[in-house]
Amino acid sequence: MLSRAAYVAVTALGLVVLTGCGGTERLAFQDRGVEFRYPVGWSVTGFSRTVSPARLVVASYRVTPSEVEGDCAGHRALASLPGNGAALLLIDYGTAHRAGFAPPPKNLRMRQLARGNYECFGDSYMLRFKAAGHDFQAHLKLGENATASTRQQALQILDSVDRATQP
């Protein structure tokens, strides 16, 4: 039988090993017909309920659903960006099939996103694209100390947007 100290040590070691495993989680929004993958440990607000067009934020730091509601929806989530963080605001224009929305290139690179100072969202990288039958506009905001790995993880979220499969 393990002593209490040994049990605590083994449990802590297991948590460290699991935390270090990385990987992604799949999140599907069946009501919208959309899913994507995001890094373990990142936070997702879910789609806004009171703002149109609907939007959500996926971030390397904690964000809450209330941060994608109200005026300039998504601004509050992006404003709390830490220096080493990344936040991806995804605006879903639905299935109207607007001009200027094309399937995104595979294996996105930062140079394929348009950097600008966008109203409400500030200095960020923007991409309009079509996926899962929806037209999306994405804003990627990076902290001044965001690593290449963090940037790549954010781009992989965009790469993963697809039609929702059944659970």
Give the pLDDT band of residue 20 (cuts 50, 70, 90): very low
CA distances from 21 to 40, 130, 152 (A): 9, 32, 17
Which CATH number belongs to the domain containing residue 148 in this structure? Answer: 3.40.1000
**Do the domain assignments include residue 130?**
yes
pLDDT tens track for 110-137? 989 999 999 999 999 999 999 998 999 9
What pLDDT is recorded for position 105?
81
Mean per-residue pLDDT, 138-151: 96
**Do the domain assignments include residue 4?**
no
**Do the domain assignments include residue 84?**
yes
**Do the domain assignments include residue 103?**
yes
pLDDT at residue 1 above 90?
no
What pLDDT is recorded for position 97?
77
Mean per-residue pLDDT, 38-64: 95
**Do the domain assignments include residue 66?**
yes
**Do the domain assignments include residue 17?**
no
Q: Are 33 and 164 in contact (CB under 8 A)?
A: yes
Quote the pTM value: 0.82
H or E stretch at 160: helix 148-160
pLDDT tens track for 53-78? 999 999 999 999 999 999 899 999 99
Between these two residues, 106 and 34, which has the higher pLDDT value?
A: 34
Q: How far apart are CA 21 and CA 35, in angstroms?
A: 22
What one-letter code names the amino acid at 57?
V
**Do the domain assignments include residue 153?**
yes
Mean per-residue pLDDT, 139-151: 96
**Do the domain assignments include residue 71?**
yes
Domain with 143, as residue range(s), is: 24-163
Domains held by the chain: number: 1
Between these two residues, 146 and 164, which has the higher pLDDT value?
A: 146
